[in-house]
Amino acid sequence: ALTATLGARYSNVEDLDNLTGDEHSASLNAQEYGLNYQFTPELRVFARYAEGFRFANADENAYTLFGVDYLKPQTSESSELGIAWDGQRISTSLTAYQMDVDNEIMYDAFNFANINLPSSERQGVIVDATLVVTEQLSIRTNYTWTDAELSSGDLKGNAVPFVAENTANLGFVFKPVERLTTSLDASYTGSRYRVGDDLNNAAKVKDVTLLNANVLWAVVDNVELGLRVKNLTDEKYSDYQGVSAFSGNYQYPQPGRTWHASVSWYF
């Protein structure tokens, strides 16, 4: 009834500045521990602790503040506790999590440089559910509530920029015949402060909902045709929006409605 997960990761990076000849190296390790207890065939509880890290890439280290040759590695510690139920027609889980992040790497548009943010923390709740309506139709949904704020420095208590408090997904999977699978999914991202708005004094980016459709047809046992339509409603949105002291608001707009066709051959 009880299972355990143990993991470890080690990574090393070596940087060379071709202009100055300056060399830099760093190494980090991370651990992961997990427990899962099956009370009944349907009911289980689980807990997990994990560490993580990310080194700045070459582009990020190329644009730093004066006096900063290399950015510090971004590190994190997270823990979660949850309960799950897997029935014949309904599967659902509830997870509460806490994450502490140190030296998060982010672009500061006011100084035109990449920086390490002060310590921040994220805590929230994740709800997942799957409902099998019939043999042909199933519904999947997810909701995540996130409270992300800076936990040190002069801006302690302010929201971490570009982290939405509310996100959600809803998907319908319909299989009218054995070899044909269709799906329609919607993803919602709530309003959030722009990148660079550490003071939280500018208007938030508006929330956005995107629709996608997908069709998979298994022509024969080892050949599959696929068609996917992303951003079905041709929504105008950006996946990155920031604010700068000199140029004002800026963004990286994403494509409107796009079509993707594929042929897969399994052997």
Q: What span, in angstroms and rounded, lies between the C-alpha atoms of 248 and 203?
A: 12
C-alpha distances in Å from residue 47, one per residue of 6, 33, 206 = 12, 8, 35
Closest CA to 74 of 94, 115, 103, 43: 103
Q: What span, in angstroms and rounded, lies between the C-alpha atoms of 105 and 56?
A: 7
Query: Which tokens hold the place of 50?
Result: 């994990």
Q: What is the pTM of this model?
A: 0.85
Task: Based on DSSP, count helices (H) and strands (E) in the chain, helices before strands.
Answer: 1, 16
Q: What span, in angstroms and rounded, lies between the C-alpha atoms of 147 and 123?
A: 5
* Residues facing 229 on adjacent strands: 213, 259
pLDDT per position in the chain (267 positions), as tens? 999 999 999 999 999 988 888 899 999 999 999 999 999 999 999 999 999 999 999 999 998 999 898 999 999 999 999 999 999 999 999 999 999 999 999 888 778 889 998 899 999 999 999 999 999 999 999 999 999 998 988 889 999 999 999 999 999 999 999 999 999 999 999 999 998 888 898 889 999 999 999 999 999 889 999 999 999 999 999 988 988 767 678 889 999 999 999 999 998
CB of 258 within 8 A of CB of 231? yes
Query: Which tokens hold the place of 39?
Result: 């009370």
Q: What span, in angstroms and rounded, lies between the C-alpha atoms of 26 and 136?
A: 52
- The letter for the amino acid at 4 is A
